[in-house]
């Protein structure tokens, strides 16, 4: 949508119906990018509104999430067409304020998820080591930590060699600050005070944060546009072939990042509106009986079915019936009819929040639109058939600042138990 190639294809698909509307350039360029992403964003917000309060597939509205693909595609295409009839002034306001704010929220969410992933990975390895005393898991933890540190160091050296030449003060500062920060978080992670309040903190988490932030910094300097022909701080943009390669790699890297953040954030169970599928069981006097950890039974039976539920429970406990027998009991309605879909794993509760799923994707559309249009020169790119993705000075600075924010969030996750011990208890 940043190029005239898009409008030519659009006119062909619509049999020149939009030629009059697109004569002033509204169908390509800055405004068109925001129109397309706005249509997709509104599509997700509408679905989010329709799915608020859906906590199991027994709700009739759950079918909207898992079906009706034809109507949903038609509705999405209809929204795209409608956006071209909205005045340009609306999208100027939307792109400069609303989309920018939503994009920042999406970026912060991705950084929080990364910190969460780093802690979860290290703690998972430690639990495996404590429970099994396995040398394999020790090797995995130590090897992955060492490998990430060596990779971070290698990327830093490459950046100094190729992107920190004389006169490239921005790159020199960004690379040096990143190096100092990942050394700092490594020291903080093993500080005695931090270890006292959070013994599971360590170099594994710091290594994961270091390699990700180093990658962000390297991506920023490698996607940095050339300001002047005589001053090149990005050698990857010297040749046309190399320039095309960097644009393609930038697009792939950007979309992979968006895909990871959206899917992980949208399906997170805790903290984002989803339900926790932990140990759910019927009220029982026998605390040692843990067969209900599968989430098969989630509601207290009525008095009319109390005796049947008790008999099933005792049979399952004795081993004469499988635990699946409880599923049939829970899925039976008051009239006694059982569901025909025995493979539905969301009858008791959804695996993730349907509404939050679409809210996250709305934020992602704002991020993509902002990334494409910020610092974009209409006169420079409107004649091209190949638009850049993430290769702007603004995008470079966003990645650099994001790495700094990521370091700050990780440091806070380390010192928060020290400053607020009552809110962070470790056994």
pLDDT digit string (tens) for 12-58? 766 555 554 555 555 667 788 888 899 999 999 999 999 998 888 78
pLDDT digit string (tens) for 108-121? 888 888 888 888 88
Residue 166 exposed, middle or buried by CB count within 10 Å (0-12, 13-18, 19+): exposed
DSSP per-residue letters across 341-405: -TT-TTSSS-SS-HHHHHHHHHHHHHHHHHHHHTT--HHHHTT-SS--SS-SHHHHHHHHHHHHH
Residue 2 has a CB neighbour count (10 Å cut-off) of: 22
- Asked if residue 316 is part of any domain, the answer here is yes
Q: Are residues 194 and 319 in the same domain?
A: no
190 pLDDT higher than 70: yes
Count of the separate structural domains present in the chain: 2
Q: Are residues 133 and 167 in the same domain?
A: yes
Q: Which among 348, 371, 399 is the end of a domain?
A: 348
Q: Are residues 299 and 226 in the same domain?
A: no
How far the first Cα of the chain sits from its last, in Å, is 55
Q: Are residues 293 and 393 in the same domain?
A: no
Q: Are residues 396 and 251 in the same domain?
A: yes
- Asked if residue 85 is part of any domain, the answer here is no
Residue 263 exposed, middle or buried by CB count within 10 Å (0-12, 13-18, 19+): middle
Q: Are residues 304 and 270 in the same domain?
A: no
Q: Are residues 176 and 156 in the same domain?
A: yes
Domain encompassing residue 407: 127-275+383-423
User: What is d(CA 2, CA 381) in angstroms, rounded to the nearest whole number?
Assistant: 7
Judge whether 389 and 371 are in contact, CB under 8 Å: yes
User: What is d(CA 150, CA 147) in angstroms, rounded to the nearest whole number?
Assistant: 5
Q: Are residues 204 and 265 in the same domain?
A: yes
Evaluated on CA atoms 209, 393, 105, 47, the torsion sign reads negative
Point out which residues pair with 231 in neighbouring strands.
228
* Coil vs helix vs strand at 228: strand
- Asked if residue 174 is part of any domain, the answer here is yes
Q: Are residues 202 and 237 in the same domain?
A: yes
User: What is d(CA 365, CA 240) in angstroms, rounded to the nearest whole number?
Assistant: 30
Q: Are residues 257 and 171 in the same domain?
A: yes
Which tops the pLDDT comparison, 393 or 369? 369
Look at 174-183, 251-260, 296-305 and tell me which has the smallest mean pLDDT. 296-305
pLDDT band at 398 (very low <50, low <70, confident <90, very high): confident
- Asked if residue 11 is part of any domain, the answer here is no
- Asked if residue 211 is part of any domain, the answer here is yes
pTM of the model: 0.69
- Asked if residue 77 is part of any domain, the answer here is no
What would the two tokens of residue 35 be? 């129109």
- Asked if residue 66 is part of any domain, the answer here is no
pLDDT digit string (tens) for 355-373? 888 998 999 899 888 877 7
pLDDT of residue 420: 84
Cα distances (angstroms) measured from residue 175 to each of 132, 155, 162: 41, 10, 12
- Asked if residue 161 is part of any domain, the answer here is yes
pLDDT of residue 74: 94
Helix, strand, coil in percent for the chain, rounding step 5: 65, 0, 30
Q: Are residues 287 and 159 in the same domain?
A: no
Which of 14-18, 180-184, 281-285, 340-344 is modeled with the greatest confidence?
180-184
Residue 114 zone, left/alpha/beta (φ > 0; ψ -120 to 50; rest): alpha
Q: Are residues 335 and 410 in the same domain?
A: no
């Amino acid at each position: 949508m940043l190029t005239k190639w898009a409008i030519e294809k659009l006119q062909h698909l619509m049999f020149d119906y939009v030629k009059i509307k697109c004569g002033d350039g509204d169908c390509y360029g800055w405004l068109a990018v925001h129109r397309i992403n706005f249509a997709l964003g509104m599509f997700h917000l509408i679905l989010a509104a329709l799915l608020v309060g859906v906590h199991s597939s027994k709700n009739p509205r759950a079918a909207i999430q898992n079906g009706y693909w034809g109507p949903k595609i038609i509705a999405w295409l209809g929204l795209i067409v409608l956006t071209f009839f909205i005045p340009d002034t609306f999208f100027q306001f939307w792109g400069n304020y609303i989309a920018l704010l939503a994009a920042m929220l999406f970026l912060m969410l991705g950084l929080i998820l990364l910190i969460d992933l780093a802690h979860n990975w290290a703690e998972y390895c430690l639990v495996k080591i404590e429970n099994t005393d396995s040398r394999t898991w020790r090797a995995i933890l130590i090897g992955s930590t060492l490998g990430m540190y060596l990779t971070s160091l290698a990327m830093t050296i490459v950046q100094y060699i190729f992107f920190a030449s004389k006169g490239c003060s921005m790159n020199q500062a960004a690379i040096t600050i990143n190096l100092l920060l990942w050394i700092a978080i490594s020291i903080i992670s093993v500080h005695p005070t931090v270890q006292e309040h959070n013994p599971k903190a360590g170099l594994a988490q710091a290594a994961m944060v270091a390699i990700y932030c180093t990658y962000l910094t390297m991506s920023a300097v490698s996607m940095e546009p050339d300001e002047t022909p005589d001053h090149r701080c990005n050698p990857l943009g010297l040749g046309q072939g190399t320039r095309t390669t960097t644009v393609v790699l930038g697009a792939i890297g950007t979309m992979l990042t968006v895909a990871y953040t959206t899917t992980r954030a949208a399906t997170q169970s805790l903290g984002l509106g989803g339900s926790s599928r932990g140990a759910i069981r019927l009220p029982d006097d026998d605390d040692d009986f843990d067969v209900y950890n599968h989430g098969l039974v989630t509601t207290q039976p009525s008095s009319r079915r109390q005796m049947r539920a008790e008999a099933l429970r005792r049979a399952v406990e004795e081993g004469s019936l499988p635990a699946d027998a409880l599923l049939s009991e829970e899925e039976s309605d008051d009239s006694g009819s059982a569901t025909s879909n025995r493979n539905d794993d969301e009858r008791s509760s959804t695996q993730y929040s349907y509404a939050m799923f679409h809210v996250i994707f709305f934020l992602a559309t704002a991020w993509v639109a902002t990334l494409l249009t910020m610092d974009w020169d209409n006169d420079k790119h409107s004649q091209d058939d190949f638009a850049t993705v993430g290769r702007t000075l603004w995008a470079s600075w966003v990645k650099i600042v994001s790495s700094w924010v990521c370091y700050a969030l990780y440091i806070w996750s380390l010192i928060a138990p020290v400053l607020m011990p009552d809110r962070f208890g470790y056994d």
